[in-house]
């Protein structure tokens, strides 16, 4: 007799063969579709807007009914259908996990990590059902000291997993099941409190992190974000929060989830014992952690309407990623300054990096960030050698549009209103009641919401900055808050109008800017430069050679295109700045200083 209180869906996941990178999953569906149950893996993972087809890593699958083995057939690239059965359906399959990124699944003899999108089959028609998941340890004694880090809640009752333990967990729906990544292995844990709730940082991989320092710096950043959205109650929107950090030699990436985030970072970016100031590497790590944490509100709870119900089979289109990723990119480093983890000068250095990245790339003049948002699936996430001409970053330029809106509102309201007011309005209307289905920010609502929150009508500006390609008036806006924006013109090297890098031992053009000298001379991305003005060059000597030339000088390049030797004569162009600097203006007015204090959250 079946237990009527047992959930209708039960998963068991076992790292069955870590050396072969294989998870085994068993799924029991108590009341399968009598027509034949369909099961599918998502084509993409929310937060990373590219079709990834996780089903390609399923390497074996079989199905059983109550008494006998059942046929199970593939009906499209990510969907299976089991033969009809009257009793419970059990499906067992293996998933190959060898993707050390925040978006997939990874398993070896040192640790395991997975997103639910890589391993848990969706039971079609049963997506709203609660389920239970047994997270089982690997077989054998070698992993007897492994622990589990996840915000997936423990199952209720006697069988529920203990803190950091293997065992039974639960999820209210399939969406919840795939929104709590899981790490297993021998990780270190750093704990602090913010917004009235416990925060843990689980660090895996070889590292020498000063945990106390990390907690000391992250806590005020989290507090500042909680206070931004909930200034009265200062209460976090989750019961606990978990940073899952994987430290590697070189790497960078983050993916947001409702109560946690998965971060991949360079171990040298983590703070070590005795570290005094915030180095550029540590600033990069803190900015990444701050970015994903901000997403707990902005995109995980406040969502574009297009994401209110994810369609996991195909692309979900919105023109608002510049708001959800761009504003988050604006606030990530700004919150470090407001939490006083970064000095204002260090914050301005980080912001100048964003300004430089946008102004260096002519793509901003050809694609709007609204278009880039819509086409993220085929362009931003799949960049090629033409990206500097054609693909603008809705992260970087979106952050600068957020800055432009923020500074405009502050200037026009004498500092009484800001972008923070819009964030709070979005939170109250679309985010706080997370369970309200179907809600989400409509595609064209932003200008009206901004006006409602601040009293400032920027509909025309937003149309030009985000839906058009007009240059942002950054220098003028920054001057209003006592900050000077200047191009670094000290480097007088004439322009080649191309980018290059060493690929192995070959100096290779990686991009050719349309309308520039290299383009005019017929050069192309992929060309391998074997000689410049008759001498062999590498990255360093080529740079030095260019620096000794003047604008309009002729430069003869011998290049291989595929295996064909070609000669091109380039007439070098005027020097072009590649870096911009932001500094605190020494003679700012009292009004500007007051606005700057409000913006950066500084006392003086
Ligand atoms: Zn993001």
Per-residue pLDDT tens digits for 447-464 = 999 999 999 999 999 999
Q: What are phi and psi of 72, to 5 degrees?
A: -135, 125
Question: Count of CB atoms within 10 A of residue 291's CB?
Answer: 22
Q: Residue 181 to residues 43, 53, 277: CA-CA distances in angstroms?
A: 17, 18, 32
d(C-alpha 347, C-alpha 352), whole Å: 9
Secondary structure of 154-205 in the HEC alphabet?
Answer: ECCCCCECCCCCCEEEEECCHHHHCCCCEEEECCEEEEEEECCEEEEEEEEC
pLDDT at 152 over 90: yes
Dist. CA 333 → ligand 1 center (Å): 13
Short-list 108, 177, 160, 169, CA closest to 135: 169
Tell me the average pLDDT across 185-205: 98
Dist. CA 295 → ligand 1 center (Å): 7
Dist. CA 493 → ligand 1 center (Å): 35
Q: Note the pLDDT of residue 146.
A: 98
Dist. CA 123 → ligand 1 center (Å): 29
Q: Note the pLDDT of residue 432.
A: 86
Short-list 328, 598, 321, CA closest to 482: 598
Q: Note the pLDDT of residue 1.
A: 41
Question: Count of CB atoms within 10 A of residue 135's CB?
Answer: 22
Q: What b/e sequence results for 229-267 when a residue is b if at least 16 CB atoms lie within 10 Å of its CB, and e otherwise?
A: bbeeeeebbbeebbbbbbbeeebebbbbbbbbbbbbbbb
* pLDDT tier for residue 539 given thresholds of 50, 70 and 90: very high
Both structure tokens of 134: 């047994």
Length of the chain: 604
Q: Residue ranges of the alpha helices (H) in 15-121?
A: 116-119
Dist. CA 255 → ligand 1 center (Å): 7
Instruction: Tell me the per-residue pLDDT of 496-533, one tens digit each, with 9 for 90 and over.
Output: 999 999 999 999 999 999 999 999 999 999 999 999 99
pLDDT at 2 over 50: no
Dist. CA 95 → ligand 1 center (Å): 27
User: Percentage of residues in the chain with pLDDT exceeding 70?
Assistant: 98
Q: Note the pLDDT of residue 439.
A: 83
Q: Model pTM?
A: 0.96
Dist. CA 229 → ligand 1 center (Å): 18
Dist. CA 541 → ligand 1 center (Å): 38
Q: Note the pLDDT of residue 6.
A: 60
Dist. CA 6 → ligand 1 center (Å): 37
pLDDT at 182 over 70: yes
Contacts of 118 (CB under 8 A, 6+ apart): 41, 45, 54, 57, 95, 97, 99, 104, 105
Whole-number average pLDDT of the chain: 96
Dist. CA 47 → ligand 1 center (Å): 7
Strand partners of residue 486: 581
Dist. CA 548 → ligand 1 center (Å): 42
What is the separation of C-alpha 40 from the centre of its chain, rounded to a whole number of angstroms?
25
Dist. CA 23 → ligand 1 center (Å): 28
Dist. CA 335 → ligand 1 center (Å): 15
pLDDT at 112 over 90: yes
Tell me the average pLDDT across 367-391: 97
Q: Note the pLDDT of residue 224.
A: 97
d(C-alpha 261, C-alpha 293), whole Å: 7
Dist. CA 137 → ligand 1 center (Å): 32
* pLDDT tier for residue 604 given thresholds of 50, 70 and 90: low
Dist. CA 115 → ligand 1 center (Å): 17
Dist. CA 347 → ligand 1 center (Å): 19
Short-list 374, 409, 199, 221, CA closest to 304: 374
Q: Note the pLDDT of residue 157.
A: 86
Residue where the block lists tokens 């295109």: 561
Dist. CA 326 → ligand 1 center (Å): 8
Residue 443's Cβ-count burial label (10 Å; 0-12, 13-18, 19+) is: middle
Dist. CA 430 → ligand 1 center (Å): 18
pLDDT at 435 over 70: no
Dist. CA 312 → ligand 1 center (Å): 19
Q: Note the pLDDT of residue 438.
A: 57
Both structure tokens of 149: 């880090």
Dist. CA 324 → ligand 1 center (Å): 7
Both structure tokens of 592: 């500007």
* pLDDT tier for residue 33 given thresholds of 50, 70 and 90: very high
Dist. CA 471 → ligand 1 center (Å): 24
d(C-alpha 143, C-alpha 15), whole Å: 10
Q: Note the pLDDT of residue 573.
A: 98
User: Percentage of residues in the chain with pLDDT exceeding 90?
Assistant: 95
Short-list 49, 600, 44, 599, CA closest to 324: 49
Dist. CA 220 → ligand 1 center (Å): 20
Dist. CA 294 → ligand 1 center (Å): 9
Dist. CA 518 → ligand 1 center (Å): 35
Dist. CA 290 → ligand 1 center (Å): 10
Dist. CA 394 → ligand 1 center (Å): 10
DSSP SS3 for 429? helix
**What is the C-alpha R_g of the chain?**
27
pLDDT at 121 over 50: yes
Dist. CA 445 → ligand 1 center (Å): 21
**H/E stretch holding 284:** helix 280-294
Dist. CA 113 → ligand 1 center (Å): 20
Dist. CA 318 → ligand 1 center (Å): 15
Dist. CA 291 → ligand 1 center (Å): 6
Residue where the block lists tokens 């079989």: 62
Dist. CA 328 → ligand 1 center (Å): 6
pLDDT at 311 over 60: yes
Dist. CA 402 → ligand 1 center (Å): 14
Both structure tokens of 196: 């009235």
């Amino acid at each position: 007799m079946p237990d009527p209180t047992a959930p209708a869906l039960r998963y068991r996941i076992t790292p069955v063969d870590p050396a072969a990178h294989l998870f085994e999953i068993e799924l029991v569906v108590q009341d399968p579709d009598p027509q034949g149950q369909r099961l599918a893996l998502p084509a993409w993972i929310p937060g990373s807007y590219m079709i990834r087809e996780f089903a390609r890593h399923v390497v074996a699958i079989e199905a059983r009914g109550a008494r006998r083995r059942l046929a199970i057939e593939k009906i499209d690239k990510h969907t299976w259908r089991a033969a009809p059965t009257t009793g419970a359906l059990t499906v067992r399959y293996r998933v190959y996990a060898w993707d050390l990124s925040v978006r997939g699944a990874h398993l070896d003899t040192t640790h395991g990590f997975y997103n639910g999108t890589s391993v848990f089959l969706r039971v079609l028609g049963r997506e709203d059902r609660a389920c239970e998941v047994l997270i089982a340890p690997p077989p054998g004694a070698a992993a007897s000291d492994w622990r589990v880090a996840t915000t997936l809640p423990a199952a209720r009752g006697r069988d529920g997993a203990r803190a950091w333990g293997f065992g039974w967990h639960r999820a209210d729906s399939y969406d919840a099941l795939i929104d709590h990544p899981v790490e297993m292995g021998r990780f270190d844990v750093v704990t602090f409190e913010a917004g009235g709730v416990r925060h843990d940082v689980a660090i895996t991989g070889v590292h020498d992190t000063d945990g106390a320092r990390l907690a000391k710096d992250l806590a005020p950043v989290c507090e500042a974000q909680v206070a931004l959205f909930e200034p009265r109650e200062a209460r976090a929107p989750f019961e606990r929060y978990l940073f899952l950090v994987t430290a590697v030699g070189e790497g960078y990436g983050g993916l947001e989830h409702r109560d946690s985030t998965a971060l991949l970072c360079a171990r040298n970016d983590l703070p070590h014992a005795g570290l005094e100031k915030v180095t550029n590497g540590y600033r990069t790590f803190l900015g990444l952690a701050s970015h994903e944490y901000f997403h707990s509100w902005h995109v995980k709870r406040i969502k574009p309407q297009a994401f209110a119900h994810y369609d996991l089979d195909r692309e979900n289109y919105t023109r608002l990623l510049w708001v959800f990723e761009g504003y988050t990119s604006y606030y990530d480093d700004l919150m470090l300054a407001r939490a006083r983890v970064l000095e204002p000068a260090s914050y301005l250095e980080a912001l100048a990096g964003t300004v430089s990245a946008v102004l260096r790339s002519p793509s901003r003049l050809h694609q709007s960030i609204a278009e880039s948002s819509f086409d993220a699936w085929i362009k931003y996430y799949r960049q090629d050698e033409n990206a500097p001409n054609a693909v603008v970053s809705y992260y970087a330029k979106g952050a600068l549009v957020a800055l432009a809106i923020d500074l405009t509102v502050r200037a026009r309201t004498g500092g009484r209103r800001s972008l923070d007011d819009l964030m709070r309005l979005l939170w109250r209307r679309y985010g706080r009641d997370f369970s309200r289905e179907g809600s989400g920010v409509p595609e064209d609502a932003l200008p009206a919401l901004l006006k409602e929150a601040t009293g400032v009508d920027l509909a025309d500006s937003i149309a030009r900055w985000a839906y058009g390609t007009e240059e942002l008036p950054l220098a003028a806006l920054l001057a209003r808050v006592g900050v000077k924006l200047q191009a670094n013109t000290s480097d007088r090297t004439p322009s080649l109008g191309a980018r290059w890098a060493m690929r192995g031992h070959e100096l290779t053009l990686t991009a050719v800017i349309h309308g520039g000298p290299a383009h005019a001379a017929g050069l192309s991305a992929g060309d391998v430069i074997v000689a410049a003005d008759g001498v062999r060059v590498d990255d360093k000597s080529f740079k030095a050679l260019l620096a000794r030339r003047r604008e309009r000088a002729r430069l003869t390049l011998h290049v291989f295109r595929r295996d064909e030797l070609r000669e091109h004569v380039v007439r070098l162009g005027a020097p072009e700045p590649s870096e911009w600097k932001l500094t605190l203006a020494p003679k700012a007015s009292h009004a500007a200083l007051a606005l700057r204090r409000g913006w950066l959250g500084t006392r003086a």
